[in-house]
């Protein structure tokens, strides 16, 4: 198994999702916003500053995973990219918009709706990713690849001529 192509990439993806889950549960990135905002002296679309290191992280992961995406089956790759665009688009772009609304209008309905849309986009992205994996694992070709090779029957032993 450890010799399978891109096995380290799959393990790293699992680790990334564990870290993202922990961050979501513990609100770690939210705790970095005020110090980072003070350091960068930004506001508006950049009000929720955690996305600055977030964009850097996405760029690095994207560069590392480019060959992986270009190598895996096309349908799986397409679905993983769609899932990533939905998730990252929700997490980063809607958060930027939410920061602008928060700075302009405070924690009102517009800011809350943006936060709801952001969280929904993240959930849809994760669901799309899970669907992509399930679709790949259940595809007939993948199922065929997982089947152990059956030994070929031995030819019958000829009986000595009488």
Residue 119 pLDDT: 92
Whether the pLDDT of residue 146 is over 60: the answer is no
Q: Which of 123, 84, 116 is nearest to 98 (CA)?
A: 116
Give the Cβ contact number of residue 83 at 10 Å: 20
H helix intervals, the chain: 7-26, 28-31, 33-40, 51-71, 74-88, 95-105, 109-138, 140-146
Q: Judge whether residue 87 has pLDDT over 70.
A: yes
Query: CB–CB of 98/48 below 8 Å?
Result: yes
pLDDT mean over 85-100: 92
Provide mean pLDDT across the span 59-71.
95
How far is Cα 115 from Cα 91, in angstroms, rounded to an integer?
Answer: 9
- Single pTM value for the model: 0.77
The yes-or-no verdict on residue 82 having pLDDT over 80 is yes
């Amino acid at each position: 198994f450890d010799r399978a192509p891109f096995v380290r990439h799959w393990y790293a993806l699992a680790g990334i999702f564990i870290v993202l889950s922990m961050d979501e549960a513990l609100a770690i990135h939210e705790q970095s916003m005020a110090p980072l905002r003070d350091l960068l002296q930004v506001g508006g679309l950049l009000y929720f500053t955690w996305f600055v290191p977030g964009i850097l992280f996405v760029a690095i992961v994207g560069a590392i995973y480019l060959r992986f995406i270009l190598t895996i089956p096309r349908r799986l790759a397409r679905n993983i990219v769609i899932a990533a665009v939905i998730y990252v688009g929700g997490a980063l772009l809607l958060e930027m918009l939410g920061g602008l609304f928060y700075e302009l209008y405070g924690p009102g309905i517009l800011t809350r709706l943006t936060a709801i849309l952001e969280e929904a986009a993240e959930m849809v992205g994760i669901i799309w990713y899970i669907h992509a994996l399930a679709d790949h694992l259940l595809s007939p070709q993948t199922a065929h690849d997982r089947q152990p090779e059956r030994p070929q029957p031995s030819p019958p032993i000829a009986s000595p001529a009488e």
